Structure 1
Amino acid sequence: MDGTSGRRVVVVGAGIAGLAAAWHLHRGDPTLKITVLDGAPRTGGKLFSSEVGGVEIDAGAEAMLARRPEGKELARHVGLGEALVSPGTTTSAILSRGALRLLPKGHVMGVPSDVAALARSGILTPGGLARVPMDQILPPTLVTTDVSVAAYIRARVGGEVVDRMIEPLLGGVYAGRAETLSLEATMPGVAAAARTERSLLKAARDLTAKAPKDAGPVFTTLKGGLGGLPAAVAEASGAEVRTGVMVRDLVRTPDGWRLITGPTRDEEVVEADAVILAVPATAAARLLAREAPRAAAELAGIEYASMAIVTLAYPRSAFPEPPSGSGYLVPPVEGRPVKAVTFSTTKWPHLGEADPNLVLVRCSIGRLGEEALLQRDDAELVAFAMNEMTEVMGVRGLPIDTRVTRWGGALPQYDVGHLDRVARARAAVAAHPGLALCGAAYDGVGIPACIATGRTAAARVLEHLNARPAAGAKEEPDG
């Protein structure tokens, strides 16, 4: 088939993964008719920004990995290359045992590689610290199948490393729990080393030694906020983007796919030659239940965590001393509602330059299992954040502006067995040519990882559309 046949691809979901898929489809075949449907009133999913204290600041993800190329490359392709900026500081701390303590150098997602540096940090108690070097004399911990992060790391270096180092770092990424998160899916470098290396400390040293020394900053963002990326990608994709359109059902037809949208009393049918589902796993499972029940069953098993971000705008004079680092993390064992704090105007100098008299702070609240906490009203969440600033930073007075952003069911949990679950779901979907999946539920929750899944989904669809089916070929249904 050539590209002039009026073929249509529908992407369900206008988050960054879905929009990236649309952009890659357009780049691969500019003659395609691409439609992006999303039930939300705006595009962008978890990328969204608005003003707090007169300064535009992200309400969702506020940084993306700079050492993965997909995010930066897409930004450059859609005309935002000049807006990419680096953090002013990467120094961060952990609130442990009542004090802010700098993260020790040489850790791998909280796994220490230098016991002396860990001791100087003061994060662990003397007893917890004494347990760490026992890793070097203990018998091997055999890891032949996927295990939880907590199970393996506790066995090697003790529970305090899990409670006070691993939990806050993983919680910052997944809002999850080390007791259930998969070692293979969330810490693949450590998991690979665990299969061959007896000592976790040595494995961490080897991993840090292999890390590129001159790779530049770990994170980047856009001057106007990452919330500006989706609109630029949508425009560059040439797609018809329709928000406020809920897709209720997906049906296979002899020529492709039929999507049923809108309320039952006023439904609309959209026909497509191919479909990309760029929605959370729970929504994808619902849409696949009829045609791909095996995939639906796998995706339905992926749990999601909710969280809220409280953004506070303080006059600079409210702080006894200006924040010097990018922020800090709070281990669950501290028993505080706030799990992470970002000093946005310190981390991102362009925000500080927008109003030199303002300090912008983002407080993250909520982990998996803390739904009751997130049911508090906005005023209570703001009070939690303000109390955090008063107790930890000595802030005096009230913020001049606040914003509460709730992200219900926002973060997929990469629990033990996640990689196998995703592989089974993809294998079931692969039985249906012209159907693909992308998004945060599969290969990583970060922006570059999501963009990469969109690119892969687009490539799968383009390959299908450009293939000439063999005569008499018959597709096997997914049972």
Structure 2
Amino acid sequence: MEGNRRHVVIVGGGISGLAAAWFLRQGGGERVRVTVLESSPRIGGKLQTSEVAGVSVDEGAESMLARRPEGKDLARAVGLGGDLVEPGTTQAAIYSRGALRAMPKGQVMGVPGDLAELARSGLVSPGGLIRVPLDQVLPATLVRSDVSVASYIRARMGSEVVERLIEPLLGGVYAGRSDRLSLEATMPRIATAARSERSLLGAVREIVRETPKDAGPVFTSLRGGLGGLPEAVAKASGADIRTGVTVRELRRTPYGWQLVTGPVPRPETMEADAVIVATPATSSARLLKDEVPKAATELARIEYSSMAIVTLAYPLSAFPSPPTGSGYLVPPVEGRVVKAATFSSVKWPHLTEADPSVLLVRCSIGRVGEEHLLQRDDAELVAVAMAEMSEVMGVRGLPLDSRVSRWGGSLPQYNVGHLDRVARVRAAVAVEPALAVCGAAYDGLGVPACVSTARTAAARILDHLATQGE
């Protein structure tokens, strides 16, 4: 404590940690001094931009959910409201059985609700199509506890729906596998239906009917790239941001916490009245293992996947015909290296302002269990992405520019039992009133979900500090 000012240290300078710093400033004002410690040379985590063919393009997350307010609200609060942009289209396709096929209408996270649309898409075979409506006559599939996405949907609609629709969508969001991902954590609306409805097909139709038709775009981004958000939040927070600082130990003291940083031969310490741990689960487990072992044990069980994004800049003339959709997803059963391709210039029209003759494409590579694919060097990954564009889109010639962004161990896997695991982590942390956790490992991978966990963590710490000041 410095005079009457309380010192809060945030470990982790990704968007969760930076948002927590901002919320602390909003709620605590000058009464709270905030320090953010980030081990890497830069802040922002998976939000980062760099130029490809002279255009600033995101290297990691390129959009955030627009129908959750937390991300947009934070962007507006830190002065970026005028930079929020809407996508030109979000109509994606699925590459299945050797062709690009439109995503059927009337689906929820790939779970079909309209049989006619599913038939028109050609995504499943005639036999697979016949299997789907059996859901309406089969006995109820009792779901009393969390199950994998694949096990429930396969029981109701068959394997082809899982392989050709569910897998590519979940692979795009989580880089995970449906036979391991939690139904409760990744498809909460479907999970609710599973507990109360006999027919999944009927439940999806009801969900679609209840979805407002004028809800607005699903996604939003920033004109200069979503990677511009962390810097704006950091500046607005007024926090002392320190990069290249690794916290090696976290120790409880009679007055709060002591953080050990610096090299092992020459350790340095920092005192804090309260701490927010905003690092990936594996790092958080390491920090909490001595003082909050129950939380550490649970956090250590959260698996992470790795991926790479290859961004290519082509002359528009390289395409036989300009793409009209936002991109396409690829089911693992197709056996292709690229799991998704986004036509960034089509999805985000503002990217064409600098040069309308250039089309930017981002190819995503890597799911859980596919780490061997990422062992190729950058040149090989670019070659794979170029081959994908040639084979699937008929692209001719070489790209004008390319970039490879690698994200090792970046996406937490919400496997079966995830929500219960998170509840146990929070119960263990709750015993320590001057400690909070936040980040993508808990309630969602996207920016709005991360901001929400940051707000909750900051509120918890501010409540604690208020009681200490009484």
Does TM, scored on the shorter chain, surpass 0.5? yes
Q: CA deviation at 1:468?
A: 4.4
Q: Does 1:26 align with 2:25?
A: yes
Task: Output aligned runs, 1:71-82, within 5 Å.
Answer: 71-82=71-82
Task: Output aligned runs, 1:464-479, within 5 Å.
Answer: 464-468=464-468
What is the alpha-carbon distance in structure 2 between the residues aligned to residue 130 and residue 353 of structure 1?
47
Q: Does 1:460 align with 2:451?
A: no
Partner of 2:351: 351
SS of aligned partner of 1:29: helix
SS of aligned partner of 2:181: coil
Distance 1:100 1:466, change over 3 A: same
Partner of 2:5: 6
SS of aligned partner of 2:29: coil
What is the alpha-carbon distance in structure 2 between the residues aligned to residue 98 and residue 282 of structure 1?
39
Partner of 2:445: 445
What is the alpha-carbon distance in structure 2 between the residues aligned to residue 354 and residue 432 of structure 1?
52
Task: Output aligned runs, 1:286-297, within 5 Å.
Answer: 286-297=286-297
**Per-residue deviation, residues 146-167 of structure 1 (Å, max 9, x unmatched):** 0000000000000000000000
Task: Output aligned runs, 1:100-249, within 5 Å.
Answer: 100-249=100-249
Q: In structure 2, what residue type is equivalent to 1:15?
A: G
Equivalent pairs, count: 469
What is the alpha-carbon distance in structure 2 between the residues aligned to residue 121 and residue 174 of structure 1?
24
Partner of 2:431: 431
**Per-residue deviation, residues 178-200 of structure 1 (Å, max 9, x unmatched):** 00000000000000110110000
SS of aligned partner of 1:445: coil
What is the alpha-carbon distance in structure 1 between the residues aligned to residue 260 and residue 355 of structure 2?
48
Q: In structure 1, what residue type is equivalent to 2:344?
A: S
Q: CA deviation at 1:458?
A: 0.2
Partner of 2:41: 41
Partner of 1:477: none
What is the alpha-carbon distance in structure 1 between the residues aligned to residue 230 and residue 21 of structure 2?
11
Q: In structure 2, what residue type is equivalent to 1:159?
A: S
What is the alpha-carbon distance in structure 2 between the residues aligned to residue 274 and residue 106 of structure 1?
48
Q: In structure 2, what residue type is equivalent to 1:278?
A: A
What is the alpha-carbon distance in structure 2 between the residues aligned to residue 210 and residue 34 of structure 1?
43
**Per-residue deviation, residues 318-347 of structure 1 (Å, max 9, x unmatched):** 111111110000000000000000000000
SS of aligned partner of 1:317: helix
Partner of 2:266: 266
What is the alpha-carbon distance in structure 2 between the residues aligned to residue 464 and residue 88 of structure 1?
45
TM-score calculated relative to the size of structure 2: 0.99
Q: CA deviation at 1:262?
A: 1.5
**Per-residue deviation, residues 277-333 of structure 1 (Å, max 9, x unmatched):** 000000000000010000000000000000000000011111111111100000000
Partner of 1:380: 380
Partner of 1:393: 393
5+ long unaligned stretches in structure 2: none
Task: Output aligned runs, 1:81-92, within 5 Å.
Answer: 81-92=81-92
**Per-residue deviation, residues 204-258 of structure 1 (Å, max 9, x unmatched):** 0111111121110000000000000000000000100000000000000000000
Q: In structure 1, what residue type is equivalent to 2:362?
A: R
Q: In structure 2, what residue type is equivalent to 1:103?
A: M
**Per-residue deviation, residues 106-161 of structure 1 (Å, max 9, x unmatched):** 10000001011100011111111110000000010000010000000000000000
Q: In structure 1, what residue type is equivalent to 2:26?
A: R
SS of aligned partner of 1:30: helix
SS of aligned partner of 2:196: coil
Partner of 1:475: none
Q: CA deviation at 1:266?
A: 2.5
Q: In structure 1, what residue type is equivalent to 2:206?
A: D
5+ long unaligned stretches in structure 1: 471-479
Cα root mean square deviation, aligned: 1.1
Q: In structure 2, what residue type is equivalent to 1:13?
A: G
**Per-residue deviation, residues 437-459 of structure 1 (Å, max 9, x unmatched):** 00000000011000000000000
What is the alpha-carbon distance in structure 2 between the residues aligned to residue 88 and residue 427 of structure 1?
43
Partner of 1:342: 342
Q: CA deviation at 1:15?
A: 0.5
What is the alpha-carbon distance in structure 1 between the residues aligned to residue 323 and residue 50 of structure 2?
23
SS of aligned partner of 1:433: coil
Task: Output aligned runs, 1:406-417, within 5 Å.
Answer: 406-417=406-417
Q: Which runs of 4+ in 1 moved over 2 A?
A: none
What is the alpha-carbon distance in structure 1 between the residues aligned to residue 430 and residue 377 of structure 2?
44
**Per-residue deviation, residues 58-110 of structure 1 (Å, max 9, x unmatched):** 00000000000000000000000000000001111000000000001110000
Q: CA deviation at 1:358?
A: 0.4
